[in-house]
Amino acid sequence: MKTIFLAGVAGIALASAASAQDLKFPVGEGAFNWDSYNQFAESHDLSGQSLTIFGPWLSGDQALFESMLAYFEEATGADVQYTGSDSFETQIRIDTEAGSAPNIAVFPQPGLARDLAALGYLEPMPEGTADWIAENYAAGQSWVDLATYSGPEGEDDLYGFFYKADVKSLVWYVPENFEDAGYEVPETLEDLKALTEQMVEDGETPWCIGVGSGGATGWPATDWVEDMMLRTQSPEVYDQWVSNEIPFNDPAVVGAIEEFGWFVQDDYVAGGSAAVASTDFRDSPKGLFDSPPQCYLHKQASFIPTFFPEGTSVGEDADFFYFPAYEGKDLGQPVLGAGTLFGVTEATDATTAFIEWLQTPIAHEVWMAQTGFLTPLTTVNTEVFGDPTLKKMNDILLEATTFRFDGSDLMPGGVGAGSFWTGMVDYIGGESAEDVASEIQDSWDAVK
């Protein structure tokens, strides 16, 4: 999972009761959808019942999650215990196999949930949940598909509910640099390529790109390829690629790799293409802020401002735009991202109520109003966002016609976190897309 490189959290499990804190925002005050809270409270009484939740959130994220749980407790009378661990992936396997799993598990990526569903360790979502997601989430069917897995009898069912998303299809820039040079934010991929060429004609370097990441070097390039797959192929083809129903060296995939290659030509990237693999992804956006700028554009996910120069104000000193789609390919507005999903490991009245709670706007708005939260739920009031940058990112998510999860995170570990990474480094170094794709397919065949 790519987010592991940014975690930096404590290695011990922490547990606490959400009710141990006051409600963050008084009920009835502000622009929150309190009607959804009141209606839920009136129809759910779980007094005396308990709910256990286990997930990967620690430290700040744990506190934010528990601030939301406090409202569920207040509305229902239930006692909720959340436990967080940075060893979640290992521990949830142990707990489910031992029959000691919590009521609900919070999965940082779909692959593990899919595995546990196939083994019979997850319960299907309550009836009607898939229809609700399809109707109320932006690109709703995408989220249903991402959480639909084969159960122990081989029949497909909805086993997960996505909550808290991340957006990767972003391009960062410095507005002052654009204004000084007379450049405008592109609205299509055709425009973005034309802007790139214009910058070169002007004697400028368009892009800063770095894929270095220690033992994980190459992963930022996989995000590029995934975004290019969504901009050159249908979502169905993307899914076939991720599941290896079409081979990695299929012309569609080779073409997406070459689309990425267009942007790492020597004249298009700071330091030339030879510098891309050796430049750490955390250092790569710094050229945006040099005077004069070393580059004007940097593609990276929503977390990257963490590595901007100290004191950088997003929205003023730096900004971003949606990595656009090809106008001529009529594939809508696809968004690449990630997200956490809830899976029910032991169905109870409280777990059913909690999944229903996640369908209320207030369950999203409480975290939205603080920090670090994006949601595809279309019924939320985005005016409650405490951070205008997050609101702008969330607008991109809500305008998406297709959402797809980071493809490498869904592939076998030896491929998605192995040969795909190293293959992209080889490609940047001069190996052909066809040869790289064939080598990655060979590694996939070896793990089948």
Which H helix or E strand runs over 265? none
Rounded Cα distance between 151 and 156, Å, is: 6
Residue 346 amino acid letter: E
Distance CA 412, CA 396 (A): 29
Enter the DSSP assignment of 405.
Answer: E
DSSP-based helix, strand, coil % in the chain, nearest 5: 50, 15, 35
**Site of tokens 């808290």:** 164
CATH level 2 (architecture), domain 170-334+407-447:
3-Layer(aba) Sandwich (3.40)
Handedness of CA 387, 389, 394, 399 (dihedral sign): positive
Q: Which residues pair with 318 in a beta bridge?
A: 314
Task: Tell me which residue has tokens 């997930």.
Answer: 55
CA angle 27, 29, 30 (to 5 degrees): 130
Cβ neighbour number for residue 356 with a 10 Å cutoff: 17
Distance CA 313, CA 30 (A): 26
The confidence score (pLDDT) of residue 7 equals: 34
Give the burial class of 264: count Cβ atoms within 10 A of its Cβ; 0-12 exposed, 13-18 middle, 19 or more buried: buried
Nearest alpha-carbon partner for 164 in 353, 364, 333:
364
Question: What count of residues does the chain have?
Answer: 448
User: Range(s) for CATH 3.40.190.10 in the chain?
Assistant: 2-167+338-399, 170-334+407-447
At 335 the pLDDT is 98
* pTM for this entry: 0.91
What is the third-level CATH fold of 2-167+338-399? D-Maltodextrin-Binding Protein; domain 2 (3.40.190)
Query: Measured between alpha carbons, how far is residue 160 from residues 112, 116, 124, 416 in Å?
Result: 11, 11, 8, 22
Encoded tokens for 430: 């001069």
Q: Report the alpha-carbon distance of residue 72 to residue 356 in Å, rounded.
A: 11
Output the six-digit token pair for 75: 């509305």
Give 99's contacts (C-beta < 8 A, 6+ positions apart). Answer: none
Q: What is the pLDDT along the chain (448 residues), one digit of tens a residue?
A: 444 333 333 333 334 444 435 899 999 999 999 999 999 999 999 999 999 999 999 999 999 999 999 999 999 999 999 999 999 999 999 999 999 999 999 998 898 999 999 999 999 999 999 999 999 999 999 999 999 999 999 999 999 999 999 999 999 999 999 999 999 999 999 999 999 999 999 999 999 999 999 999 999 999 999 999 999 999 999 999 999 999 999 999 999 999 999 999 999 999 999 999 999 999 999 999 999 999 999 999 999 999 999 999 999 999 999 999 999 999 999 999 999 999 999 999 999 999 999 999 999 999 999 999 999 999 999 999 989 999 999 999 999 999 999 999 999 989 999 999 999 999 999 999 999 999 999 999 998 7
- The rounded distance, in Å, linking the Cα atoms of 436 and 221 is 13
> pLDDT value at position 447?
87
